[in-house]
Amino acid sequence: MIRAPLTIPPEIRARLKRLSLATRRRSALYSFGVQASRNKGTGLEFAQYRAYEPGDEPRRIDWKLFARSDRFFVREAEAESPVAVWILLDATASMAQADRARPDWSRFDAARLLSLCVAELATAQGDRFGWAVLAEAAFSVADPRSGRAQAGRMQVEFSRLVPGGGFPDHAIIAPLWHRIGPHDLVVFISDCFDDRGIAVIERLAKAGREVLAIQVLTAEERDFPFHGGFRFRDQETGNELVSDGAAMRESFLAHFAAARAALHERLEHAGIRHATLFIDEAIDRPLHALFGHGAGAA
C-alpha cells in the first residue's frame, strides 16, 4: 500500500530558511554548499524555477518572468558540494507507536517528515544528500545526490515504507561503512531504543564521521497519562505487561528519565550531538536545537 506522501507545511518551510546544516569542520576545502554557492564561477548550475515563498531573498526573483506571468518566481541553482548529508531512518516496528490522542500520527510519521526537513535544508544549500532505511526486512541505501529531484525520490520512497521488524544486523548494514565519506554529515533519526542502532552511530563517530542523533518519542512516554488497567505491549518483541496505569506512573517516569540520561551521556561520550522530538511538538524543533543560534545538545 502506498501511503500519501508527506509535505512540509508552509510555516515550517519558512522557518527552515533561517537554518543551515552547519558542520564542526570549517575548512575551506570542505565548506558546505550554502557558503560555496556565494562564489561565482564553476560549480553552479541553474536547476529550476519555483514559486516565491516568504523568506526568499528578493534578489533571487526573476523579474523578466514576473513581467510575463505577473507572478513571483525564484531561480534555484544547484552546486556540487564536497560534503554529503546522510539521513539514517529507523524503520523498525517500535517506530509505529502513536499516542491515543492522535493515533494517525506515529513516531515513524514524525521521523519521515523530519527527514524531509533535513533534505530541504540540504537542497537549499546545494548539498548532496542520501539516506538509508534501517529495518531488517526493508534495508535500503540511496547514494547522495543534489537537487529537487533527489528530494522527490526520497518522498516517494518514504511514502511506501511501513515500519516493522527489528534492527538490521551488522552484515546487512555493512554497505554503509564504505559509502559514508570521512567529511560527510550523518543524521540518525530513531527512537533510540535499540542498542544496535546506537552502536552503529558510535562506530561512525569513532571513525571520524560527524554524527547527529534525533530521538523521536511519543507524548505519552513523556507524560504517562494512563489511569486504570492497561495492557502494555512491546511492538518488537510482543511481550506484554498488564498493570494499573496510575500505580506505574511514578516508577515508569523515573526509569524512563534514567534511561534517557544514560543515552545522552553515551552520545556525549561518543561526541554525537543530539536532540529530542516529542511527536506533539513542532517538527522542526530539534533542527533549531542543533543548527539554530547557540545550538547544542537538547
Is 52 part of a structural domain of the chain? Answer: no
Whether 296 is in a domain gets the answer no
Domain CATH code at residue 215: 3.40.50.410
191 lies in a domain? yes
pLDDT at 238: 57
| pLDDT value at residue 74 | 74
Burial (CB count within 10 angstroms: exposed 0-12, middle 13-18, buried 19+), residue 39: exposed
Residue 3 forms part of a structural domain: no
82 is written with which cell numbers?
564536497
Q: Show the low-confidence residues of the chain (pLDDT under 70).
A: 1-5, 24-49, 55-56, 76-82, 227-245, 247, 294-298
Domain annotation covers residue 1: no
Domain count of the fold of the chain: 1
- Residue 180 resides in a domain: yes
Domain range enclosing 30: 10-43+80-291
Q: Is residue 282 part of a domain?
A: yes
Is residue 142 in some structural domain? yes
Note the pLDDT of residue 32: 42
Give the per-residue pLDDT at 5.
65
